[in-house]
Amino acid sequence: MNTINEYLGGFSVVLIIVFGLVLSIKTKFFQGKGLLNSFRHLSKTKKTEDNSLTTRQAMCTSLAATIGTGNVVGISGAIAIGGAGVVFWIWISSFVCMIIKYCEIYLSMHYRRKEAGQYKGGIMYLAKILPPKLHFLGFAFAFFTIVASFGTGNLIQINTAVESFKNILPKDFLYTDTLAIIFAITLALLIGFTLISGIKKVSGVCEKLVPFMLILYLAASLFIIIKNLGEIPAAISEIFEGAFNPKAVTGGVVSSFFIVLRTGAVRGIISNESGLGTASLTHSAADNQNISAESEIGILEVFIDTAICTLTAIVILVSRMPIFYGKDMGLIPVNDSFYSQFGIVSSYLLSLFLILFAVSSVLGWGAYGIVASEFLWKKRGRSLYKIVFAAACVLGAVLSTEKIWVISEIFNSLMAIPNIIILTFVLRKFGIAKHRS
């Protein structure tokens, strides 16, 4: 299973990066201009009267899914594996892949349809305009999305939330598996109630939750960075030096340039989800007739996600806590960094952030799953999915996530393959030049 994941993951990352480079060159790196435009578009978002989403709701729902525990735990582990240089390659891969998310949203909105006062669209609907023999790609994408939503978007996130809940409790408190299950059931009920109310309700909750948790994390991170302002030049130097000469930063434990490049590129893509096609599922439901403007918001999402990853990395680097390079240490580097600055309060802060990030990610992926399940099995399938997805939250409290991680990464990679194929065919039909405003 690990071997399959390694080769499939490597293939999908190369596929996404190459596709992003081709699009970037053909559009003359439009993502730069699109990012500047996106800030202006976001301020013009309006409320809707029907079941459609606002631009801000679509963006926050997409961000809820992308900004999960991986922005903290994943980046912390990535630095331990490859050193500070991975941050540089996260930046590069994110910039290159911004244009993919733009095209995913643009094409999905262009070919969407409106039913019962709500827009329907996404990568799987794009497959319907391809030759009949390729229609299976849409069904494959929807199926892979549903499976990935249970792994990446549910079990792993809930497991992290439960472990974080344990850290919030007093040290002399008798923690049991029963208490963990009760906490997971509570989350399942809250998440289930939100999902059953529909994607409009999910997006409304994400619209409030995402800015709140981002402001909190930004404040805590900036406190550490400002407190260690003198270490910023050295941290930036480590990032650039480590990107091309990792041995100089890690002391020889990580001496391969390709390990650093691969780790940074993979973590960046996994975090911002460019190339997976997920953003198309929420933005297609937005009531925005300016398709290009809505698509440019997707570029902003990648930027925000990358900024959160960078904050985590800078916090670790300026804190100057010892790191044992060459092995994924998970939360340890960032936990040590927060502890060195906040003391005993750090465990409460990190636990709060991880719980918020986990819950938001579950809601965001739940929204993806709702759209995908409705495409495959109509309204009955959508209703059943909501119930099963919420109930699966309880399993996250008791299952070991080691194998779940591997399976989830496999299905994330599988999502990318039909997505890139569909986009390639549709872009040839539609013309990539039309995607530049």
DSSP string, 25-52: HHTTSHHHHHHHHHHHHHTT----SSSP
> For 86-97, what is each residue's pLDDT tens digit?
899 889 989 998
Residue 270 pLDDT exceeds 90: no
Residue 435 pLDDT exceeds 60: no
Report helix, strand or coil for 327: coil
pLDDT of 47: 64
> What's the average model confidence in pLDDT over 119-145?
92
> What's the average model confidence in pLDDT over 151-170?
85
CB contact set of 202 (below 8 Å; sequence gap of 6+): 61, 194, 195, 363, 366, 367, 370
Which range is least confidently modeled, 29-33, 48-52, 98-102?
Answer: 48-52
pLDDT of 50: 64
pLDDT of 242: 86
> For 289-303, what is each residue's pLDDT tens digit?
889 999 999 999 999
H/E run at residue 113: strand 113-115
Residue 395 pLDDT exceeds 60: yes
Of all residues in the chain, the percent with pLDDT exceeding 70 is 92
> What's the average model confidence in pLDDT over 370-385?
91
> What's the average model confidence in pLDDT over 347-374?
92
Q: How confident is the model at residue 187 (pLDDT cuts 50, 70, 90)?
A: very high
> What's the average model confidence in pLDDT over 116-134?
88
Helix (H), strand (E) counts: the chain: 18, 2
> What's the average model confidence in pLDDT over 336-365?
90
Residue 8 pLDDT exceeds 70: yes
Q: How confident is the model at residue 248 (pLDDT cuts 50, 70, 90)?
A: low
Compare 310 and 272 and report the one with higher pLDDT.
Answer: 310
pLDDT of 388: 94
User: What is the length of the chain?
Assistant: 437
Q: What is the rounded distance in angstroms from the CA atom of residue 30 to the CA atom of residue 436? A: 7
Residue 314 pLDDT exceeds 90: yes
Q: At what angle do helices 85-110 and 2-26 cross, to 10 degrees?
A: 70
Q: How confident is the model at residue 46 (pLDDT cuts 50, 70, 90)?
A: low
Task: Provide, for the chain, the percentages of residues in helix, strand and coil under a 3-state DSSP scheme, each rounded to the nearest 5.
Answer: 80, 0, 20
> For 200-242, what is each residue's pLDDT tens digit?
889 999 999 999 999 999 999 999 999 999 999 999 999 998 8
Does pTM surpass 0.75? Answer: yes
Q: What is the rounded distance in angstroms from the CA atom of residue 201 to the CA atom of residue 367? A: 10
The average confidence (pLDDT) of the chain is 86
Which range is least confidently modeled, 22-36, 39-53, 261-275?
Answer: 39-53
> What's the average model confidence in pLDDT over 166-187?
81
Q: How confident is the model at residue 437 (pLDDT cuts 50, 70, 90)?
A: very low
